[in-house]
C-alpha cells in the first residue's frame, strides 16, 4: 500500500476537522498563555512586515519614477521584480509564523497545550463509551506519557540552543531552496520548466513516477504562481507537522533512522492533516492564533496513528514497535465513528507478550 495514497491524505484532512472540533470543546484550552504569545507574535510580525515593506515600497516608487521617463508598458522586467518581492514577502519569509514556531524553544506553553489536550481526548473518549464494558476500551495515552521526561522545560527533544540551530538550519534551507527555484524560473527558455521539474522531483519518491509526471505536465499549463504556492504549501506542511509532533517525540525517544521510517510510513495521513492547517496558518496575522489549536489537534491525531505508550519503566523497544504502523489498513478503511477502537487491543497485546516472556529473575529458596 502506498504511504501517500489519496485515501490516506483525505483521512488526514478528516482528522484535522474532527480533532479541531474535539479540542475546541475543551474549556481549559483557552486558559493557556499561548494566545497572548500569539498576539505578541502578530504584533512583532506586523512591525517586521512594515520594515520589509519599506524596500518594497521604495522599489515601487523607483519604478514609478522611472516610468515617467521610460516607457515600461512593453517591458516585463519591472513586473518580475515586483512579483519576486511579493513572493519573498508572502511565500518565503512568513515572519509571524516563524516567530510562533520559535516560541516553542523558549516557553513550554505549546507543550502544555499538547499534553492537556491529550488528557482531554482521553477523558472525552471514556465519557463517550461509558456505557460499554471498560475492558473493551482502548488504553489511555496521557497517564503514561506524562510520566516521560522531556529533559527540559520547553518540551523539545534536544538542548534548546541545539534545537534552535537545527530549526533555523531547516528554515534557511527551505528559504534558500525556494529562492533558488524561483530565480531559476526567471531564466529565459528553461525557466518555464523549472517549477514543474521541481514538482516532479519532490513528489516522484512519494507518489510514484506516473502521478509525478502528471503533476509535471500540469505545471507546464498552470501559471507559475500556482506551482509556487503548491510547492511552498507542501514543504511548509512537512515542517509544520515536524514541529507539531515535537511534544510526542521529546518523550518517546526515537533514533534518527527510526524517526525517518516513522514519518515515511504515515506520510499520507500526516500531509493531509498538516496541509489543512498550513492553509489556515498562512492567513496573514490571524493564522498564528490557530497554531495552538493545531498543536491541540495533534494530540487527537497521536491517538489514531500510534499505540498507547507503556509505563516508562517498560518502554524498552516501544519506539521500534511504533515505526511500522500496524493498524494502517484498518485506520484507512473504517469510518470515523469506529476509529476509537483501532488500538483498543494494544495494551492486551503488550500484556500477552509480557505473559509469554519467561521470568528469568533468579529466585531465592529458603
- What does the pLDDT look like over 111-156, one tens digit per residue? 888 999 999 999 998 888 888 887 778 889 999 999 998 765 445 5
**Largest interatomic CA distance in the chain:** 106
CB 111 within 8 A of CB 150: yes
Alpha-carbon distance of 201 to 206, in angstroms, equals 10
pTM assigned to the model: 0.78
Give me the pLDDT at residue 221, please: 83
What tens digit of pLDDT does each residue of 336-364 get? 777 766 655 444 554 555 555 444 444 44
Give me the pLDDT at residue 94, please: 64
Q: Which residue has the cell 525556494?
A: 178
Where does the pLDDT of residue 284 fall: very low under 50, low under 70, confident under 90, or very high at 90 and above? low
E-assigned strand segments in 250-336: none
Give me the pLDDT at residue 91, please: 61
Give me the pLDDT at residue 300, please: 94
Query: How do the domains of the chain map onto residue ranges?
Result: 6-344
CB 117 within 8 A of CB 72: no
Of residues 336 and 234, more confidently modeled: 234
CB 99 within 8 A of CB 41: yes
Average pLDDT over residues 88-109: 69
Amino acid at each position: 500500500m502506498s504511504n501517500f495514497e489519496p485515501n490516506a491524505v483525505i483521512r488526514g484532512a478528516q482528522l484535522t476537522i474532527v480533532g479541531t472540533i474535539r479540542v475546541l470543546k475543551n474549556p481549559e484550552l483557552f486558559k493557556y498563555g499561548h494566545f497572548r504569545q500569539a498576539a505578541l507574535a502578530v504584533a512583532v510580525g506586523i512591525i517586521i512586515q512594515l520594515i520589509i515593506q519599506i524596500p518594497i515600497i521604495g522599489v515601487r516608487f523607483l519604478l514609478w519614477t522611472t516610468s515617467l521617463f521610460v516607457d515600461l508598458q512593453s517591458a516585463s522586467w519591472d513586473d518580475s521584480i515586483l512579483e519576486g518581492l511579493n513572493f519573498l514577502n508572502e511565500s518565503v519569509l512568513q515572519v509571524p509564523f516563524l516567530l510562533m514556531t520559535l516560541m516553542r524553544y523558549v516557553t513550554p506553553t505549546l507543550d502544555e497545550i499538547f499534553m492537556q489536550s491529550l488528557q482531554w481526548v482521553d477523558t472525552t473518549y471514556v465519557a463517550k463509551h461509558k456505557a460499554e464494558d471498560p475492558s473493551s476500551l482502548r488504553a489511555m495515552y496521557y497517564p503514561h506519557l506524562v510520566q516521560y521526561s522531556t529533559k527540559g522545560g520547553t518540551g523539545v527533544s534536544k538542548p534548546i540552543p541545539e534545537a534552535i540551530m537545527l530549526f533555523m538550519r531547516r528554515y534557511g534551507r527551505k528559504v534558500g531552496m525556494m529562492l533558488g527555484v524561483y530565480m531559476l524560473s526567471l531564466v529565459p527558455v528553461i525557466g518555464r520548466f523549472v517549477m514543474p521539474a521541481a514538482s516532479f522531483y519532490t513528489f516522484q519518491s512519494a507518489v510514484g513516477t506516473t502521478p509525478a509526471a502528471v503533476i509535471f505536465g500540469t505545471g507546464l499549463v498552470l501559471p507559475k504562481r500556482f506551482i509556487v504556492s503548491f510547492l511552498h504549501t507542501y514543504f511548509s506542511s512537512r515542517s509544520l507537522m515536524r514541529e507539531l509532533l515535537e511534544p510526542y517525540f521529546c518523550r518517546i525517544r526515537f533514533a534518527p533512522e527510526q524517526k525517518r521510517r516513522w514519518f515515511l510510513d504515515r506520510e499520507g495521513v500526516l500531509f493531509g492533516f498538516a496541509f489543512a492547517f498550513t492553509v489556515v496558518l498562512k492567513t496573514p496575522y490571524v493564522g498564528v492564533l490557530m497554531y495552538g489549536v493545531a498543536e491541540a489537534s495533534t494530540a487527537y491525531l497521536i491517538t489514531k496513528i500510534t499505540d498507547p505508550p507503556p509505563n516508562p519503566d517498560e518502554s524498552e523497544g516501544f519506539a521500534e514497535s511504533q515505526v511500522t504502523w500496524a493498524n494502517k489498513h484498518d485506520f484507512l478503511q473504517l469510518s470515523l465513528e469506529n476509529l476509537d477502537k483501532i488500538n483498543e487491543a494494544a495494551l492486551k497485546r503488550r500484556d500477552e507478550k509480557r505473559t509469554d516472556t519467561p521470568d528469568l529473575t533468579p529466585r531465592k529458596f529458603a
